[in-house]
Amino acid sequence: MSNKIGRKGRFFRVLKIGTLVVPLLGLAACSGEEAVMPPDAPGVSRSEEYSFGSATQAQDWQATRKVLGQLEGRFGEKSMRILARNLASTTDPQTIKVYYAERLVHQAGWAEMPVSTFADKAWAFALVSPNGKHVLAVEALDASESAGGIVPLNILTNLDEDNGSKR
């Protein structure tokens, strides 16, 4: 009789452990999902060619290079890509940040990483994946640098996407 009770006790212990372990394994499996580049934010558009003059291009590259240098040190030079975009000069930079934060921070657990543009005519922010392997940074010139209602915006990332220049 005690042998049957022992087997039942063991069965229920295994059952209890299983009910604890299975959800944890499910969470672990979800955390290994491949990070994906979110769609462009409202106010951000793609262009076939660079829409700005050489003076704006020089300022844009200087600001981009400052942010890129910070990211390459942490994520590797070969993994970073620059995705050139245009930003409507009427778009508030905070709405761009909120857009990406809603898709990455609130849904996937990403965190903000401090970055500096070292330029008074640009702004930037960066978001890092929970495992620290992926980054999405956005850098753009201020609206005061507008050319035809748009300013250059660059997405610096190591997330997968079909378009963009590989570094």
Give the pLDDT score at 2.
Answer: 57
Cβ-in-10-Å burial (0-12, 13-18, 19+) of 115 comes to: buried
Q: Each residue of 122-159: pLDDT tens digit?
A: 999 999 999 999 999 999 999 988 888 999 999 999 99
112 near 46, Cβ under 8 Å? Answer: no
| DSSP string across 56-67 | HHHHHHHHHHHH
Fold of 44-166: TATA-Binding Protein (3.30.310)
Bridge partners of 63? Answer: none
Q: Within 13 A of 44's CA, how many CA atoms are on the CB side? A: 21
